[in-house]
Structure 1
Amino acid sequence: MRNWILPEYISDVLPMESRQLETLRRSLLDLYARYGYEQVEPPLVEYVESLFTQDDSALDLKTFKLVDELSGRQMGLRADITPQVARIDAHILNRKGVARLCYAGSVVTTRPDGLMSNRQPRQIGAEIYGCASIGADIEAIELMFASLALTGVTDFCLEIGHIGLFNAMADVAHWPNDARQAAFNALQQKDVPALEALTADLSPELRQGILALPLCYGGSDVLVRARQALPAIDAVTAALDALHELEAALLNRGMSVRFDLAESPGSYYHTGLVFNAYANGFASAVARGGRYDRVGEKFGRSRPATGFSLDLRALTSLPFPTHQAAILAPQSDDMALIEVIRTLRNAGEIVIVDLGVDVTEVHINRSLQLINGQWQVVPLQ
């Protein structure tokens, strides 16, 4: 067996990509800090019960499990960081007011999200807990826009939906759990024939509303068509009102909006507004977000929440930035040389001591040479 072969959809991060990943991570966390977000770092592994906010079969399937040899209990490698942050907000910080939290770290999944995906994404995101108003959703989307711009993604499309539309009609339909899950899966895939079969026994008004969801995508006229096609249920009306209010606020900020009322939330814990960003050259969404109220209920404290996340590794398909050129220094115990090297490094220069460097393998364009008794930086010959 060749010991250097990695599992499928698992890959090493080599120097150029690693440099870009770390640069993006630092820049994004600094951006979030300027908005007032505080960084948390949940553990990579914990008891499996804490890794799900509810009975989330999809997240359960994506989670690697193992047995803790100290306690004998089942543990899991996190496949999503949001449930962990919800636990921190609900059970550890326990703040009365709004909490703005951000995170950055690896997650591991049992299966990839797509053919071009990796099973060890570098997830980074920002979340707001304790605010139920549309202002929190606006801030999350604004920060998501700023995040993508910082990573170099500027030409993207924002699609907004509302999972509450389906949930409201599914509640009225009184479907058993398996039928409801099947209908939700069909909606995500825009499988209209499957939805037609699943809604055959519903009232004409309710059936029309569910079948209309996969067809409700496009510009502002989507909300007009949805009000005409969907049943007059209080929760449906409230969801459409929220979408209209969000659209007006985003347009006022110069952000273009499209709607897809069958938009997949990406995770089953979402409860309301969902938004995904799509960009040319990427097979799937480059950023995902939405509202997940009551996400901390399992941890003893139900709070409204909204936020977004993105996978830094997916964004490294962009051209890598040029690496800063280094200075080559000879190996020596000369204290004057050692002080010059320290001074250069403190000033932000990369100084590589020559322990057998091949200048064709690293980016070096200058060297330190002793000239007239002084160590000087000169162009590399």
Structure 2
Amino acid sequence: MPISETWLLPDGVADVLPEQAQVIETLRRSALDFLASRGYQLVYTPFIEYIESLSSLSESNQDLDLATFKVIDQLTGRLLGVRADMTPQVARIDAHVHPVEGVARYCYAGTVLHTKPQGFNTTRAPLQLGAELFGSDSIDADVEMIDVMLSLIETANLVEGVHLDLGHVGLFRSLVKHADLNKTTERQLSDLYQRKALPELAEFTQKLKFGSDFYALGRYASDLAALQRNLSAEILQDEAFKQAFDALTTTQAEIQARWPKLHIGIDVVELRSYHYHTGLMYAVYAPNRAAPLAQGGRYDGIGEHFGRARPATGFSCDLYALSAGQFQAIKTVIAPKGTNTTLLAAIAQVRNNGLSVIQLLGEDDLTSVPNATHQLVNVAGEWKVKQI
């Protein structure tokens, strides 16, 4: 592409043309309607805020902090952040703006902005849609959220062939605490787990306290039964480890009961956003797609930054990614000029039937509307829609 054409938009930012925009907007509306039917209340959040308001997550998640564009407010001289994720904003609403008692459910949809693409072949300006549940630390809340996420994917007609990945940061976290590891060793282990580097992990864990348990966690990360057989009795009796293990097995069983045909995978060392999540983590993947269709997890205490720490779980997805490759042919009907009563009534009826109708202007003819697919013609005194 010539340089004269590429300078118009920065890398990772693109226009959405009518055929795909129609698909995305239809999906957005149906998704929000579905979430409303499940009791999730819609909120709108500002595109830009003081950086302090967006730092409730960035303090524990450097990835989010690095993804946030920062600018100086010309009115106050204070530092502003362009939202890179809407979860901190919804947490602020729950904790400070709309502090309801009991369980609160919110949903949202809007554009966020990233300093760099967050994955292979992704946009820097995703259209993020998600749901958050505050005020319950029950496994039932996580099961509900996963069920809502899967049902939302179903509204996009993408359930066929998808699989769910489940993990729980509490297993690794409790083992680290039990072994009293320092932060450096913890980070090194996390990196080995993320890279699935079993030979390196075997060598690294030889000198660690409970090293065989750390190795077993990586070696049997996707097989809970084998993992349980290969862990030491001391670790299996650790209360925090037991709670995390039971939460994972219970969630897997309950989701499988609700979605019997769904393939559920386990990965106890999938530690993305490890310092952000506090419990269960989940993601939905589709065949031939590297990035998840939707992902989320538990992040208890998120509202502490705003003076009200609450249990929380939620998920989000990028509607652009969710609708990737889908296009919708747009039917456009051209109507002739005129104010004849029967003509105007026919135009109104066609519009009521869900089609777009453009009435010609001035000396226009059919060639003036190049995207027209049909025309309204008078056949023996009756107006009918005919394909062009």
* TM-score above 0.5: yes
Q: Classify the secondary structure of the residue corresponding to 1:84.
A: helix
- Residue equivalent to 1:114: 119
Q: Which amino acid aligns with 1:301?
A: R
Q: Which amino acid aligns with 1:187?
A: Y
Aligned equivalents of 1:309, 1:275: Cα separation in 2: 11
- Shift of the alpha carbon at 1:259? 0.7
TM value normalised by structure 1: 0.89
Q: Which amino acid aligns with 2:299?
A: Y
- Residue equivalent to 1:23: 26
Alignment equivalent of 2:377, drawn from 357, 369, 374: 369
Q: Which amino acid aligns with 1:2?
A: S
Alignment equivalent of 1:80, drawn from 77, 85, 96: 85
* 2:142 matches 1:137: yes
Q: Which amino acid aligns with 1:293?
A: D
For the structure 1 residues 32 and 229, does the alpha-carbon distance in structure 2 shift closer, same or farther, using more than 3 Å as the test?
Answer: farther
- Shift of the alpha carbon at 1:42? 0.9
- Shift of the alpha carbon at 1:197? 6.8
- Shift of the alpha carbon at 1:99? 0.5
- Residue equivalent to 1:11: 14
Q: Which amino acid aligns with 1:60?
A: D
Alignment equivalent of 2:312, drawn from 299, 305, 309: 305
Would you say how many aligned residue pairs link Structure 1 and Structure 2?
A: 376
TM value normalised by structure 2: 0.88
- Residue equivalent to 2:299: 292
Indicate the percent of aligned positions where both proteins have the same amino acid: 38
Aligned equivalents of 2:312, 2:344: Cα separation in 1: 53
C-alpha root-mean-square deviation of aligned residues, in Å? 2.6
Provide Cα deviations, 1:52-96, integer angstroms capped at 9, x if missing partner: 324121111111111111111111111111111111111111111
Q: Classify the secondary structure of the residue corresponding to 2:281.
A: strand
Alignment equivalent of 2:39, drawn from 18, 23, 36: 36
- Residue equivalent to 2:175: 169
Q: Which moved more, 1:30-39 or 1:104-113?
A: 104-113
Aligned equivalents of 2:118, 2:94: Cα separation in 1: 28
Aligned runs of 1:163-312 on 2, under 5 Å?
163-192=169-198, 195=201, 199=205, 201-203=207-209, 205=210, 207-219=211-223, 221-222=225-226, 224-225=228-229, 227=231, 231-232=235-236, 233-253=238-258, 254=260, 255-266=262-273, 268-312=275-319
Q: Classify the secondary structure of the residue corresponding to 1:187.
A: helix
Aligned equivalents of 1:256, 1:187: Cα separation in 2: 23
- Shift of the alpha carbon at 1:139? 0.8
> Any stretches of 5+ residues in structure 1 without a counterpart?
none
- Residue equivalent to 2:103: 98
Q: Which amino acid aligns with 1:75?
A: L
> Any stretches of 5+ residues in structure 2 without a counterpart?
none
Q: Classify the secondary structure of the residue corresponding to 1:2.
A: helix
- Shift of the alpha carbon at 1:236? 0.9
Aligned runs of 1:289-368 on 2, under 5 Å?
289-323=296-330, 325-334=331-340, 337-355=343-361, 356=364, 358=367, 361-365=370-374, 367-368=375-376
Aligned equivalents of 2:154, 2:184: Cα separation in 1: 41
